[in-house]
Amino acid sequence: MSVHAAPAEIASLDTRFADLDLADRLSLAASLGRAVFTTSLGIEDQVITAAIGTHRLPITVSTLETGRLFHETVDLIAETEGRYNISIERFRPQQDAIDAYAARYGLNGFYDSIEARHACCHVRKLIPLAAALSGAEVWITGLRRGQSGNRAATPFVAFDTERNLLKVNPLADWDLETIKAHVDAQAIPVNALHGRGYPSIGCEPCTRAIKPGEPERAGRWWWENDEKRECGLHVPDNTHGTPAARNAAQPGPVSLATENGCR
Ligand code: SF4
């Protein structure tokens, strides 16, 4: 299949994914073109990494080391590599871009405004993501419909017109209980923070534990309005703050074509 699949082909492909188990969904994704899986080391992503490693699937596993991750998350990268005998490619932000951001907003300026928060995510996540996906034809993610209202309609496969690749979400229909049962059955290593009230884990200063009954992603950017709680990896570019904000955090002009696409 061409990565420039027509809508009817995408719909047909989506139906095929629905009838497959996880390993076969990943195999199918890998058959569609050069596939990259971006992992945040969250529980869903660990399930996918385990399947890739166990079945030796031809899928590159990459992660965005933002420089603000919990040490538990950083430690889990190496543990996962050892457990599944795989290499996880690390993509890090550019120091000059971080310096420019800090000069304008302050290192922790993301608490002060939506603009500043989006600018930080742009520098620490979106630019590294663009590098991770460079040359990819298929982008595999751990998005699930049950994670938030924003993700309730997540398909198995869609064409990402801004990145010009197929985006595959093989766990779209899995609920959290199914994920946990699979992790237990397969003894998959997971982030220790999950056991301390963190169902969704991002950067340390922007993630806190949730209370019983709160939505899974309530601990992410908790000081913002719910509809804006995405870092920009999985939402259209026009929701990521103003171009001025993004340019302010950059050493040079921002290419809009490279910044779309959080865990
Ligand atoms: S989650 Fe927080 S620290 Fe991480 S990149 Fe976004 S604003 Fe910056």
CATH code of the domain in which 160 resides: 3.40.50.620
Of all atoms in ligand 1, which is nearest to the CA of residue 110? 7
For residue 126, the model assigns a pLDDT of 97
- Our mutation pick for probing the ligand 1 site, out of 127, 203, 207, counting the most ligand atoms within 8 A of Cβ, is 203
**Residue 231 Cβ contacting ligand 1 at under 6 Å:** yes
Distance CA 255, CA 246 (A): 10
Residue 30 placed within a domain: yes
- Residue 2: inside a domain: no
Q: Is residue 1 in some structural domain?
A: no
At 165, which helix (H) or strand (E)?
strand 165-168
Separation of alpha carbons 70 and 72, rounded Å: 5
The Å distance, Cα 118 to ligand 1 centre, comes to 8
Distance 82 CA to ligand 1 centre (A): 28
Residue 116 domain flag: yes
Residue 154 lies in a domain: yes
Q: Residue 88 pLDDT > 90, yes or no?
A: yes
Q: What is the pLDDT of residues 108-166, one digit of tens each?
A: 999 999 999 999 999 999 999 999 999 999 999 999 998 878 888 899 999 999 999 99
Shortest-distance Cα residue to atom 5 of ligand 1: 121
Q: What is the pLDDT of residue 6?
A: 84
Measure CA of the first residue to CA of the last residue in the chain; give whole Å: 28
| pLDDT tier, 73 (very low <50, low <70, confident <90, very high otherwise) | very high
pLDDT > 70 fraction of the chain, expressed in percent and rounded: 84
- Where does the pLDDT of residue 257 fall: very low under 50, low under 70, confident under 90, or very high at 90 and above? very low
* 181 CB-near residues (< 8 Å, 6+ apart): none
Q: How many domains does the chain have?
A: 1
Pocket test for ligand 1, best of 64, 65, 120 (most atoms within 8 A of CB): 120
> Is 231 annotated in the active site?
yes
Per-residue confidence (pLDDT) for residue 192, from 0 to 100:
95
Of ligand 1's atoms, which has the minimum distance to the CA of residue 231?
6
Structural domain range at position 68:
7-258
For ligand 1, atom 1, the nearest C-alpha belongs to 203
Per-residue confidence band for 246, with pLDDT thresholds at 50, 70 and 90: very low
What percent of the chain has pLDDT above 90?
A: 73
Going by pLDDT thresholds of 50, 70 and 90, the confidence category of residue 69 is very high
